[in-house]
Structure 1
């Protein structure tokens, strides 16, 4: 399912077109986490240039319409229509369950199952929930309720080569008995509900504490997961690969034996709520998260992580995340698209790119009323922000921290609690960051073209010690302060020249250290 390959090339090409200056190349040559050279205000010079030198055409964005009901049904029709085989067996030796019995975690299921842990295994063929129910044929493990819904009281695993289709069904996963759903092959969830279930309360397994077990879903390396028009709710807790809805490659140790390709998934027109992480992935590729609703999740709404690539996050409505960000990609999540999402009223920022996530395009999103920044780039160089609207966020409209070669084109940042756009250098040595795994450079450089920076509490724009900053056609009218616009630092030293170039002469401005 390599449906994003062309998109990857396009995204990388878009970012490659951003200016690569001498200063940026010097920054790239720094050792990991080494601070860039620090400059005084008098070290900088100002250069005027034509606007054409730093403008660029609109990015060619991917066709989101290809992720639809017909495409999912076509994928399902390609699976062999073979008679299913389902069994209940001990979990030892089942690759999809290894993570949950290693390092003492098996105790969780021994306690909940009152015996040696078992699982329901879809071993082969194409199965429906009714097939699973009839072949299990034991109410201790799986039961059909009076309303037609099913409840499972064991982990349910789709084994390699098999297909499980859940269509127009409600599947409840028993919290007390330690049920969860693991896909090691092909899973289709269409117009259905998957919900963590608290049997004692006869209701959803709503979040209580991060350490408390709740049922979850995981799609492993080599798997294909398709979710369409469905509802996932009350899942996940703070344990590895048990976060709620996860698409994850096997560990290096396990995959040396299993040799699985990266996992893939399409999530389309569905709802994810009351989930510890609404979405999480690890070393995933070709994931499409399109036109979904993520609401009232616990730590993150959408959280692609660790060396994932070729992701499309488009048209989603993400809000009410309790603790942290609505959408975040972190630790070398590259060559991806975050488009046309609405992210608001989240515990921290609306959209974040973190820990060396590069060659990504963030375009046409509406991000408002978040308790952090609208969009934050943290230690993530070589990204493009295009046409986003960032309104009434508690901190900055856009924050670019320790990130170089960032393009900020045609964005609107208004009524934010500090700056419209902030370029920031920050020493992270006092944090618990692993600087070998999560290296960074204490340097910032950005190009700001077009758009409006209006009525932000601390001002339209600020940056400290940039490797370079380029400005053109930026509307900075309507300051919130009674004294008008007042830059500090290097921008303040050239404020008159900057406004003369931008407003009177319609020229681009470039500030850069001039050297000795």
Structure 2
């Protein structure tokens, strides 16, 4: 494999560029080039990273444990009346149909209120094996369970199995805490008795607290709203000012869920945890604030490893993301500070990182110091993106592009592309179309002399000047959209270090 570009290889690569340009039709030159002093660019990059890190900082996730011993009762579930909103969204999602297959009377739920209770205490209070009974190394729950805003369910060193065929679900408005415990959907020997898919799930409403420490969640969720695994949400019956759901997940394992963690209107810390054999997404963030750090995601059957949407502010750092059906990380119609740093992304069936429709004001997106390899699409693929910094990444082994940014119409904003190592790419290494300002420098390209363009799109007409300045001379160059700019002259970068 050829080494990364050094001056000794520059002549052959520049010859390749000139040959490719000679074979194409003349292009309209609307780009003006100028040298940015290296110190200025370095200071700006440091400031950008500092601002972004500050913007994605998050206060410690606050969890509250209701004091005193909780009261436990069985209460009827109505689909539409005062107080029924926590389970109303699931009326048409198969919950009540599954309940009807197990309960012979009007649907009932276990309700925990007025304090906290352990699983053993809950079984003692209910004293009904049809609802909750001993099973394996813990207990089997066969009724829906609702934790009210002043209630809490505490699992410590035990297992709670949720029966698949009885409409079991955990609906949390207060505190759900698992520590060294297991929460698992359980089928037994019975096959499905309904024509509609259903598996037990956990939903925590805005204002609630959920804590998962050193625990395992397994075989939960099906592909329906708020029912895909562990979900949070803001009900239409809750005031918009309701505090976000608090979620703390640490040192835990999620396996065989529809989506591992699906967060809306939440404040979450997810760290040092593993996600494998997910169906839709491992982690799905929407209108939330989150830090997702040092997790392992392996195997997502239908979509991406991590998805970010809406008014979401997040730090996604140090994660290993392998073997996803779509992208490793997908960001779509998102506004707010987002820092993707130190992640390792590989074997994506789509793009390594996919960005779509990020044109909101006030947001900042930085992709820094990631390793992206063996994506079947492009390593970083963006469209309709207004501002983006791609800094100090290592990208290799993609059959499409290392970096592709395409806007249908030119957008004001800046693409900063510095310090990256880009190689073993099937098409052109970098494609840029439709952004007003591009800053390049200190990138290393591994190309195929005489066979491959390194820079195409808006940069193709000026790529020979750009490569001479940024590779041979080692300077930082700003490329601005300037209609009628004319043929760019060679750049002298001798003083650019000042």
Mapped partners of 1:290, 1:104: distance in 2: 32
Once the two structures are TM-superposed, the CA of residue 201 in structure 1 deviates from its matched residue by 4.3
Alignment of 1:175-190 (within 5 A): 175-190=164-179
Alignment of 1:122-201 (within 5 A): 122-145=112-135, 147-201=136-190
The residue aligned with 2:13 is none
Say which SS state the counterpart of residue 358 (structure 2) adopts. Answer: coil
Alignment of 1:240-259 (within 5 A): 240-251=225-236, 254-256=237-239
The residue aligned with 1:419 is 401
In structure 2, the CA distance between the partners of 1:418 and 1:442, relative to structure 1 (3 Å rule), is: same
Once the two structures are TM-superposed, the CA of residue 105 in structure 1 deviates from its matched residue by 6.0
1:409, 1:450 within 8 Å by CA — same for their partners in 2? yes
Say which SS state the counterpart of residue 106 (structure 2) adopts. Answer: coil
2:94, 2:197 within 8 Å by CA — same for their partners in 1? no
**What is the number of equivalent residue pairs in this alignment?**
444
Say which SS state the counterpart of residue 289 (structure 1) adopts. Answer: strand
Mapped partners of 1:484, 1:301: distance in 2: 36
* Residues 1:327 and 2:317 are matched in the alignment: no
Alignment of 1:28-427 (within 5 A): 41-55=28-42, 56-57=45-46, 59=49, 79-92=65-78, 93-101=83-91, 106-145=96-135, 147-201=136-190, 212-251=197-236, 254-256=237-239, 260-284=242-266, 286-305=267-286, 307-308=287-288, 310-333=289-312, 335-381=313-359, 382-426=364-408
Over residues 89-147 of structure 1, what are the superposed CA-to-partner deviations in whole Å (9 max), with x where a residue is unaligned?
112334432322379964443344232111111112120001110111111111112x3
The structure whose Rg is larger is 2
Mapped partners of 2:181, 2:449: distance in 1: 52
1:402, 1:444 within 8 Å by CA — same for their partners in 2? no
Once the two structures are TM-superposed, the CA of residue 49 in structure 1 deviates from its matched residue by 1.9
Mapped partners of 2:317, 2:195: distance in 1: 31
Q: 1:474 aligns with which of 443, 450, 471?
A: 443
Over residues 386-410 of structure 1, what are the superposed CA-to-partner deviations in whole Å (9 max), with x where a residue is unaligned?
1111111111111121111101111
Moved more, 259-268 or 185-194: 259-268
In structure 2, the CA distance between the partners of 1:177 and 1:302, relative to structure 1 (3 Å rule), is: same
Moved more, 112-121 or 162-171: 112-121
1:41, 1:489 within 8 Å by CA — same for their partners in 2? no
Once the two structures are TM-superposed, the CA of residue 197 in structure 1 deviates from its matched residue by 0.9
Once the two structures are TM-superposed, the CA of residue 412 in structure 1 deviates from its matched residue by 0.9
In structure 2, the CA distance between the partners of 1:268 and 1:402, relative to structure 1 (3 Å rule), is: same
Q: Unaligned 5+ residue runs, structure 1?
A: 1-39, 428-440
Aligned CA-pair RMSD? 2.8
Over residues 423-480 of structure 1, what are the superposed CA-to-partner deviations in whole Å (9 max), with x where a residue is unaligned?
11259xxxxxxxxxxxxx977741101020111111321112322211011111x225
Once the two structures are TM-superposed, the CA of residue 80 in structure 1 deviates from its matched residue by 4.9
Mapped partners of 2:94, 2:400: distance in 1: 47
Once the two structures are TM-superposed, the CA of residue 301 in structure 1 deviates from its matched residue by 1.0
In structure 2, the CA distance between the partners of 1:209 and 1:372, relative to structure 1 (3 Å rule), is: farther
In structure 2, the CA distance between the partners of 1:369 and 1:104, relative to structure 1 (3 Å rule), is: closer
Q: Unaligned 5+ residue runs, structure 2?
A: 1-26, 485-498
The TM-score with structure 1 as length reference comes to 0.80
Mapped partners of 1:80, 1:159: distance in 2: 10
2:95, 2:198 within 8 Å by CA — same for their partners in 1? no
Mapped partners of 1:421, 1:210: distance in 2: 45
Moved more, 182-191 or 443-452: 443-452
Mapped partners of 2:405, 2:158: distance in 1: 50
In structure 2, the CA distance between the partners of 1:318 and 1:481, relative to structure 1 (3 Å rule), is: farther
Say which SS state the counterpart of residue 176 (structure 1) adopts. Answer: helix
